[in-house]
Amino acid sequence: MKPAIQRRLFLLGALLVAGGALGVIAWGGIGDNLVYFWTPAQVAANADKAVGATIRLGGVVQAGTVHWEQDQQLLTFTVGESTVDTKTPLQVEAKSAPPQMFREGIGVVVEGTMRTDGVFSADKVMVKHSNEYRAPTGEADVKKLYATVEDL
């Protein structure tokens, strides 16, 4: 073979190997670092995956469940699919003060993960309120909620 062709083949081979390796690695890297957009019911349905995975949980703060320990900066509340959710309400614990608009019956998105004791441990609590706001009543509404909160 001519040296020029040899070099080209070598280059092509090197590129293929590099590209392949990169693809495999990136694939694995993505799989480990996904952020799931789930409602409480979806978290319940994916209980096996939920522990340790990053989740953006969307739902409604249930009435009578908000509790804030000012000394420890510990906020606990329950999130449900809708204003009154008796099936899959999910206990949330966040190390933060309640955000400005935070209150019972409002839509929230909290980012964090499930702990083994069945409590959702949140790093971020996001609330969005607009003039046209009304409490989400179902999954479709919760999806809309994501759209409005994601930019916070």
Q: Which positions touch another protein (CB under 8 A)?
A: 18-19, 22, 25-26, 29-30, 32-37, 54, 56, 70, 73, 95-102, 127-131, 133, 143, 146-147, 150-152
84 or 123: whose CB is closer to another protein? 123
CB of 84 to another protein, least distance (A): 23
4 or 86: whose CB is closer to another protein? 4
Q: Are 114 and 79 in contact (CB under 8 A)?
A: no
Size of the chain, expressed as the number of residues it contains: 152
Quote the radius of gyration of the chain (alpha carbons, Å): 22
CB of 45 to another protein, least distance (A): 12
Residue 125 CA to residue 93 CA, distance in Å, equals: 10
Q: Are 91 and 76 in contact (CB under 8 A)?
A: yes
Residue 102 CA to residue 127 CA, distance in Å, equals: 6
CB of 89 to another protein, least distance (A): 22
CB of 138 to another protein, least distance (A): 16
For residue 63, give Cα distances in angstroms to 18, 24, 80, 84. 55, 47, 10, 8
9 or 26: whose CB is closer to another protein? 26
87 or 95: whose CB is closer to another protein? 95
